[in-house]
């Protein structure tokens, strides 16, 4: 059954939901403040996936002694990992252990070419991360929650559907199907994308990758080829990733996305699942997850009055993390 939270402003945050349920208001205040580094310790960790090294950071709170474990990855498609430190810090300061890792080809993890989008490899990275974490004794590996954003928001559904040990899932602005995501751009875009992807594969061994822009500003009238082309995208990516971000991906990423349709067994997902999206999101419209949330046995869909990039800072971030914490407290909290 799906419960749709009403769209509203500050009055419908997860903090209010906890106050209505009788939780301690002082705890809510502590969760809203800027996290202190004294609330948690961090340690850099590595694991192997597909023969390559992946890098992550474990945020370990001072209390409780056996915190539930949140595995966190993803971020804006084409700029994975950007903007997630704030999520990890707030979750850790609220008493949850968090493993925030970079999928292959991104961030500090290995993988060439850089910034390649490959849904099968990214799913393998999640499974490898879980395999390594389950050997630890300082976190509650029997209370593991997957929190994925954008493309990873779809990946975590597939991983959890095949792993009954997962306690819960948070799927934020999920790209459920790379093929459907690209189809929104039209058949002409798909055709040009395939040509660019084939060119990338052919020229890479000799001349290096043929790249395309992650987002454009529309100044060329749509003649260029970019992964995302919406009114908010170009500025949103730049504001989040910074001016030094190159904003390019290998064009073969479009071939991988065109083959990606998600796991057909997603409807077997039985653990509690929280979907989070924005009603003003023009990159991953929230309507794309409504049907799936209706099909799942234990799913909640939260619709926030926000755009795609609003969920990384400010009011949108506060609302997303508030709903996430309320959900975690209910399903794996002490």
Name the pLDDT band for 19 (thresholds 50, 70, 90). very low
What number is the average pLDDT over the span 261-275? Answer: 92
Q: Residue 15 above 50 pLDDT? A: no
CB atoms within 10 A of CB 258: 17
Name the pLDDT band for 50 (thresholds 50, 70, 90). very high
Write the pLDDT tens digit of every residue in 145-198.
999 999 999 999 999 999 999 999 999 999 999 999 999 989 899 999 999 999
CB proximity list for 207: less than 8 A, separation 6 or greater:
none
Write the pLDDT tens digit of every residue in 227-265.
998 888 989 999 999 888 889 999 999 999 999 999 888
User: What pLDDT shows up at residue 334?
Assistant: 73
User: What pLDDT shows up at residue 65?
Assistant: 87
Tokens of 224: 């260029």
The lowest-confidence range among 34-38, 152-156, 286-290 is 34-38
Task: Tell me which of 135 and 3 has the higher pLDDT.
Answer: 135
Distance separating alpha carbons of residues 15 and 29, to the nearest angstrom: 9
Residue-range domains of the chain with CATH: 2-176+262-331 (3.40.50.1820), 182-253 (no CATH)
Instruction: Please name which of 54, 119, 65 lies closest in space to residue 95, comparing C-alpha atoms.
Output: 65
Rounded to the nearest integer, the mean pLDDT of the chain is 88
Unique residue bearing structure tokens 């989008």: 117
Distance separating alpha carbons of residues 108 and 46, to the nearest angstrom: 10
Distance separating alpha carbons of residues 303 and 153, to the nearest angstrom: 15
pTM for this one?
0.89
Contact 61, 97 (CB under 8 A): yes
Task: Tell me which of 25 and 310 has the higher pLDDT.
Answer: 310
What number is the average pLDDT over the span 107-127? Answer: 97
H/E run at residue 205:
helix 187-207
The lowest-confidence range among 106-115, 162-171, 213-222 is 213-222
């Amino acid at each position: 059954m799906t419960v749709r939270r009403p769209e509203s402003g500050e009055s419908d945050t997860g903090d209010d939901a906890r106050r209505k349920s009788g939780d301690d208001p002082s705890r809510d205040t502590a969760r809203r403040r800027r996290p202190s580094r004294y609330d948690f310790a961090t340690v850099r960790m590595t694991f192997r996936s597909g023969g390559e090294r992946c890098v992550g950071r474990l945020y370990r709170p001072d209390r409780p002694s056996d915190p539930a474990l949140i595995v966190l990855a993803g971020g804006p498609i084409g700029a994975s990992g950007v903007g997630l430190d704030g999520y990890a810090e707030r979750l850790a300061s609220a008493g949850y252990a968090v493993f925030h890792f970079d999928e292959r080809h991104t961030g500090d993890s290995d993988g060439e070419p850089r910034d390649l989008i490959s849904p099968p490899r990214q799913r393998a990275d999640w499974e490898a991360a879980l395999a390594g974490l389950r050997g630890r004794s300082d976190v509650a590996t029997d209370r593991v929650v997957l929190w994925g954003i954008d493309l990873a928001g779809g990946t975590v559904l597939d991983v959890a559907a095949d792993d009954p040990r997962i306690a819960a899932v948070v799927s934020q602005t999920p790209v459920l199907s790379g093929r459907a995501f690209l189809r929104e751009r039209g058949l002409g875009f798909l055709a040009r994308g395939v040509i660019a992807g084939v060119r990338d594969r052919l020229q890479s061994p000799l001349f290096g990758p043929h790249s395309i822009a992650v987002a454009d500003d529309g100044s060329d009238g749509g003649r260029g080829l970019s992964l995302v082309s919406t009114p908010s995208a170009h500025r949103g990516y730049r504001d989040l990733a910074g001016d030094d971000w190159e904003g390019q991906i290998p064009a073969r990423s479009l071939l991988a996305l065109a083959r990606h349709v998600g796991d057909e067994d997603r409807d077997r997902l039985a653990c509690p699942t929280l979907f989070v999206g924005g009603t003003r999101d023009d990159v991953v419209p929230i309507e794309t997850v409504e049907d799936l949330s209706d099909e799942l046995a234990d799913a909640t869909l939260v619709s926030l009055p926000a755009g795609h990039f609003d969920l990384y800072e400010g009011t949108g971030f506060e609302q997303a993390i508030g709903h996430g914490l309320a959900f975690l407290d209910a399903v794996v909290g002490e």
